[in-house]
Homo-oligomer: A and B are copies of this chain.
Amino acid sequence: MGRKAYFKNEEFLNAAIEIISENGLNALTVAALAKRINAPVGSVYHRFPSRDALLAEVWINIIESFQNEFIGKIREDGLEATLSCLEWVRRHPHEARIMLLYRMQDLMWGAWPEEMRQRARRLNKDLHDAVAAFIKKQFGRVTKENTDRVIFATYDAPIGIIRRYLLENKVPPPSAARLIRETYAAVIEKAK
């Protein structure tokens, strides 16, 4: 009952992602957001309590998408999980730009909505558990040194190269996988 909706929640979220990715955070005004999908400004506030709330949702959705894929893969295989970061970025270039070029703190002015805090906590726990299980499987036990190795090879190094391409408004080429593999081999497999 009541009027049919012209605009979906998701359309605003996607429009925000595109604007930030293409023109930077400064370009994401509520007016620009509404205009991109030809919606009136008021409709933004009909669906989201504030610009901050919308951005919190954009952020947590992206992080969940990225990390859940990683978590799923690392249960099977470390190298696969590592390479999957690269593939996720290639499939989600706009989201990747936001994830790697901004921080939550800079997207929003205020504090996280409580729902988002919960989702973030659950996600971090899942990630932590999955990584710890992998370290145990790979090295026998979890030490600070092993943990550093795994995070570096599976996350830091791939993100490092990916981020450079994103900064240049490009998507990392498939050839980047070669360097990621070599690093993984040197840092994880050789150290076993």
Contacts and interface: CB of A to CB of B under 8 A. Distances in A.
A154 to B, nearest CB: 11
Contacts of A185: 186
Contact of A24 (B106, B149, B160, B175): B106
State the majority secondary structure of interface residues on A. helix
Interface of A: 24-26, 101-103, 105-106, 109, 145, 148-149, 151-152, 155-161, 163-164, 167, 175-176, 179, 182-183, 185-187, 190
Nearest to A109: B26
14 contacts: A24-B106, A26-B109, A148-B176, A151-B164, A155-B164, A156-B161, A156-B163, A156-B164, A157-B157, A157-B183, A158-B160, A163-B163, A183-B183, A186-B187
Nearest to A158: B160
Nearest to A151: B164
B179 A149 contact: yes
Contact of A25 (B24, B106, B187): B106
Contacts of A182: 186-187, 190
